[in-house]
Amino acid sequence: MTTTEQPASLISTLPGHYYTDPAVFALEQSHVFEDMWFCAVRSGDLAKPGSFKKVQVGRESVLVVRGRDGQLRAFLNICRHRGAQICTEESGATNRAFRCPYHAWTYDLEGKLIAAPNLTKMPDIDRIEYGLVTVALREWLGYAWVCLAKEPPSFEHDVMGDVVERLGSVEAIEHYDLDSLSVGRRVTYDVQANWKLIIENFMECYHCATIHPELTEVLPEFADGYAAQFFVGHGAEFGDDVKGFTVDGGEGFDRLPGVDEDHDRRYYAITVKPTVFINLVPDHVIFHRMFPVSADRTIVECDWLYTHDVVESGRDVSRSVELFHRVNEQDFAACERTQPAMSSRAYANGGVLVPSEHHIGAFHEWLTQRLSR
């Protein structure tokens, strides 16, 4: 077989096995999901003391719980006695404590061991030392982010840094005041595709004219194939006749209080590695969290966030939800069409990126460097 030199306009993608090999996925679990800040849960979902959520982070089950002091904490969902999972429910609420269903070791909401059969006959047991294993937790943008690493990396550098790299400053996203917004709609998607295919798709708009007719009507510049993420601080402008970020381009809601005229009628997209997408529009925010399950399956949870008044008053959010719900379904269908080809001999050495996709190459470099540690 003869080979030709690759044109300068094209750069190579990752080889196909990066999207199919369980060994690669295992490395990603240990070097990416378990070593980095992972966006676990919307803080407002755990509003009352005792409310909890079980989250899979890499290979670990993590329990995020609201303490009686109002603070969110995270623990490994593992009993210190014989390793049974403390909570088998996905979410719920407890009055005062978590009780292991195996041998009844019991822990308070701060993780301290408070009871166990015959515990009083074992006075040498340190109840804090044998409490639940603590996981680092930070709250930002209204979400709880957890990190399993013994020495968590800088949140400011890794998480906030991705926002700064895209928008130019942290203040640019804080104007949207995500902490104060309420979930108007949540949709969970079970995508039969590798998590990296979903990220790569979100980062580029070369496909937009082909599969996103509704989106390109609202954001005409996307039809040219250049994603907003390609340029630092750039927001895609709404079309001249578009009144709001809705499925039909009709009126949305009033601008979020902190959004100024310079950011009105513009859409900003941000990728926060490894598993978060944030979409900013004047009247709401769309926040995606990915939960990679295997090399060929990813759960994506998407929140549509609005002002408290919009949600509490029962305003109809369906037209703004429908626009990006269609985008999600179109994107995920494309990823699912792509996943089987990742194991083809035609893709053994990978594919190529055109100039409007070259920034995806930086994501590939970042990933391979992490996996080679």
Rounded to whole angstroms, what are the CA distances from 79 to 47, 112, 133, 277?
25, 11, 9, 33
Cβ atoms of residues 269 and 286 within 8 Å = no
Structural tokens at position 359:
């920034």
Cα 16 versus chain centre, distance: 24
**pLDDT of res. 229:** 60
pLDDT tens digits for range 317-332 = 999 999 999 999 999 9
The mean per-residue pLDDT over the stretch 152-171 comes to 97
Residue count (the chain) = 373
pLDDT tens digits for range 200-215 = 999 999 999 999 999 9
The mean per-residue pLDDT over the stretch 87-108 comes to 95
Q: What is the dihedral of CA 197, 199, 205, 207, to 10 degrees?
A: 20
Residue type, 361: G
Cβ atoms of residues 329 and 322 within 8 Å = no
Dump the DSSP string for 185-246.
Answer: EEEEEEE-S-HHHHHHHHH--TTHHHH-HHHHHHSGGGGGT--GGGSTT--EEPPTT--SSS
Query: What is the phi/psi pair of residue 282, to 5°?
Result: -60, -35
Angstrom distance (rounded) from CA 228 to CA 260:
19
pLDDT tens digits for range 34-68 = 999 999 999 999 999 999 999 999 999 999 999 99
Angstrom distance (rounded) from CA 242 to CA 238:
6
Angstrom distance (rounded) from CA 55 to CA 301:
12
Would you kindly state where each structural domain of the chain is located, as residue ranges? 1-34+156-372, 37-152
Structural tokens at position 206:
């070369």
CATH placement of domain 37-152: 2.102.10.10
Cβ atoms of residues 320 and 284 within 8 Å = yes
User: Among 60, 55, 4, which Cα is nearest to 30's?
Assistant: 60
CATH architecture assigned to 1-34+156-372: Alpha-Beta Complex (3.90)
**pLDDT of res. 2:** 46
pLDDT tens digits for range 261-297 = 999 999 999 999 999 999 999 999 999 999 999 999 9
Cβ atoms of residues 187 and 325 within 8 Å = yes
**pLDDT of res. 1:** 42
Burial-class residue 346 by CB neighbours within 10 Å (0-12, 13-18, 19+).
exposed
Within a 13 Å sphere around the CA of 88, how many CA atoms are in the beta-carbon half?
A: 5
Which residues, in sequence order, are CB contacts of 259 under 8 Å at separation 6+?
175, 176, 282
The mean per-residue pLDDT over the stretch 172-182 comes to 97
